[in-house]
Amino acid sequence: MSKQDKKRKGWVGATLCGCPNEATLTRQLAFLMAQGKQDETAVLAEAMRTGIRALYREALVEAYLMGRISRQEVLQELGPEEMEEIEYQRDALRRDVAWGLRDA
């Protein structure tokens, strides 16, 4: 893939796995610091909180869908709107799989 193709597809500043490289992260950190008028520590602390929240939510949803925790636990942690979205997506996936397998 040419450098031009990579740029068009958003690969510039990222490794082959799609993860940002160190230069990209440094540039993004500097941008966040400038835009938010915050120092590096404050931006990194917010990034840590945001990342942990996202990972926690992902782990909760996975545990619920795998039957390791109850619906009530997820409902208490994420609230009724998120619970509704999780169950809607689960049910949509089940319908899609059933449709795909009906003539298999």
Cβ neighbours for 35, distance < 8 A, ≥ 6 positions apart: none
CB under 8 A, 24+ apart: contacts of 4-10: none
Using the structure block, give the residue that is written with the tokens 């950190």: 29
Structural tokens at position 79: 């609230």
**pLDDT tens, residue by residue, 3-33:** 555 555 554 555 556 677 888 889 999 999 9
Domain ranges of the chain: 13-101
- E-strand spans in 1-104? none
- pTM more than 0.75: no
**pLDDT tens, residue by residue, 60-102:** 999 999 999 999 999 999 999 999 999 999 999 999 999 999 8
